Chains A and B, each alone.
Chain A
Amino acid sequence: MWDNATIMMLVEGTFVTLYMTVVSTLLAYILGLPMGIALVITAKDGLRPNKVIYKVLDIIVNIVRSIPFIILLIMVIPLTRVIVGQSYGPTATIVPLTLAAAPFIARMVESSLLEVDPGVIEAAQSMGANIWTIIWKVMLAESRTSLIVGATIALGTILGYSAMAGAVGGGGLGDIAIRYGYYRYQTDIMMVTVVLLVLLVQVLQIIGMKLSKKLDKRMK
């Protein structure tokens, strides 16, 4: 069974999984980061308290986070068709992955930003900093280590979700594992894909942790 075609398929599957994971994470941050910032800013003791915006965001995040990913995957198929033109394959999978990950990322960004010492924010206000300077140069800059740790967790989670998309022909390692392991009883190929997925998560995790540690100046 270890012919060239199988090996090529596994290598391609690994790259497809990485492609889906990385692109979805980036897109999910484009949506989730502003949402997370908005949650912190509009909260009751935030810089611009706004009950309506806060509540709306809070509810959206909670609703999307409560939907099991496999269900969301199917629910958004019409939207995926509109955006990508088809409902299967790696690029199509990016749509539900992004939608599922964005609220999750918003929550993680929110909790990272809430870790920033309110005293430092007050100090910036006392210097006459405007809200954008405070968001960019105080809140995001000061919480960067925590944000990177969050991004590492997000990558791992999205990678896991991408494998789930294999159930509906999403492509990548998860797709291979389901087709060969589940439909054809080729347990060995399934095991190899599982090992590859574990390795991917490990590598991402190590890179993320190293990076966050390197950028953290709070230690002596």
Chain B
Amino acid sequence: MEPIIQIKNVSKTFIGKENQVEALKGINLDIHKGDIYGIIGMSGAGKSTLVRCLNFLEKPTTGTVVVEDKDLSALKEDELRKVRTEIAMIFQHFNLLMQRNVLDNVCFPMEIVGKSRAEAKERAMELLEIVGLADKAKSYPAQLSGGQKQRVAIARALANNPKILLCDEATSALDPTTTKAILKLLQEINQKYGITIVIITHEMAVVQEICSHVAIIDAGELAEHGTVEQVFSHPKTAAAKKLVFMVNPKATEMQGKRCIRIVFSENSSFEPVIANMVLECKAPVNILLADTKDINGIAHGQMILQLPEDEAIGNKMIHYLKDRKLEVEELDSYVG
């Protein structure tokens, strides 16, 4: 299948008065229709620049982006504007028009494409219904909470039936509960309307929650990409490991003790596996990190355990876990 977005060798250099900053270095990435593609990286990694290259708010210094067979770098100004009406975007700080009420905010993109006022209003009400804010149509953004503002922004983004939705740190200004609700809404939109979603974030939790694919950007380069399963289970690069383990590699290393990382996936059975292992082996383990989630009765996520010093018992434990179809990997140097 032809990808809906092809990022082709995109580089972006910002030229300052005294120095040049290479924000992106030769990024190649394909995003397919219906994907929820997470682009993750530490702050300053270049991910916000990358997402702005997808609708040419930033023009790449070299390379290009192809959206549905249209090479954005070859388009004229007005053609580019037309393509942008099909690529919606939501932002960390919502970017609503503060002097317009909620309904008129949602109408704004339809004014841009020249829809009639009556038609726009009807569609806007429909969209507010979808995001659960129909009762706030006459409110002004200043009267809404962060989560509600982002819902308005999502309704606005959907106004012109976009094929792609770009989310630039869309949940970074929200609390964890609101973040979950917004992510769920995005997932519904993806499933119901088949809109391809690109999510820029610095939080692995966001990627885990809803993304099908993930690309890791590190210092302007594409470090790793693939399905979330792949990257999450077997992070290859240092940047990926850093994000998956959520730890700082510069911290002092744990020495002399064996650490293992367990990945829970759909294969894991419904049993208190760690507790059973401890009972079976009659030796304690130290849980250094646990990040698991219960999805339909099955644990998903990861744990990092420190094993007893006795090598035989340690081996036994690894064996025990592997028998239960958990992915186990020994970490030569876990830093926590």
CB distance from B165 to the nearest CB of A (A): 11
B142 in complex: contacting residue of A125, A138, A219, CB < 8 Å: A219
Asked if A142 and B108 make an inter-chain contact with CB atoms under 8 angstroms apart, the answer reads no
B320 within 8 A of A: no
Which residues of chain A have C-beta atoms less than 8 A from B99's C-beta?
141-142, 144-145, 215-218
A188 within 8 A of B: no
In the complex, which residues 201-257 of chain B have their Cβ closer than 8 Å to any Cβ of chain A?
A: none
B81 in complex: contacting residue of A120, A130, A141, A145, CB < 8 Å: A130
Cα–Cα distance between A202 and B100 once the two chains are bound (Å): 30
Contact code string B164-183 (vs A, CB < 8 Å = 1, else 0): 00100000000000000000
Asked if B95 and A133 make an inter-chain contact with CB atoms under 8 angstroms apart, the answer reads no
Known contacts A141-B100, A142-B97; is A127 also within 8 Å of B142 by CB?
no
Known contacts A117-B95, A217-B101; is A128 also within 8 Å of B82 by CB?
yes
In the complex, which residues 137-153 of chain A have their Cβ closer than 8 Å to any Cβ of chain B?
A: 137-138, 141-142, 144-145
Which residues of chain A have C-beta atoms less than 8 A from B97's C-beta?
120, 138, 141-142
Known contacts A125-B57, A126-B88, A220-B142; is A120 also within 8 Å of B96 by CB?
yes
Contact code string B259-279 (vs A, CB < 8 Å = 1, else 0): 000000000000000000000
Which residues of chain A have C-beta atoms less than 8 A from B111's C-beta?
133, 137
Contact code string B78-109 (vs A, CB < 8 Å = 1, else 0): 10011111011101010111111100000011
Cα–Cα distance between A129 and B112 once the two chains are bound (Å): 6
The 9 lowest CB-CB distance pairs between A and B, nearest first, are: A128-B84, A123-B95, A128-B81, A128-B85, A126-B89, A119-B95, A217-B140, A127-B109, A129-B112
Write the residues of chain A forming the contact surface with B, with a CB cutoff of 8 angstroms. Answer: 117, 119-120, 122-130, 133, 137-138, 141-142, 144-145, 215-220
Pick 13 A–B contacts, CB within 8 A, sort by A: A120-B95, A122-B91, A123-B95, A125-B57, A127-B112, A128-B83, A128-B109, A128-B113, A142-B99, A217-B100, A218-B140, A218-B142, A220-B143
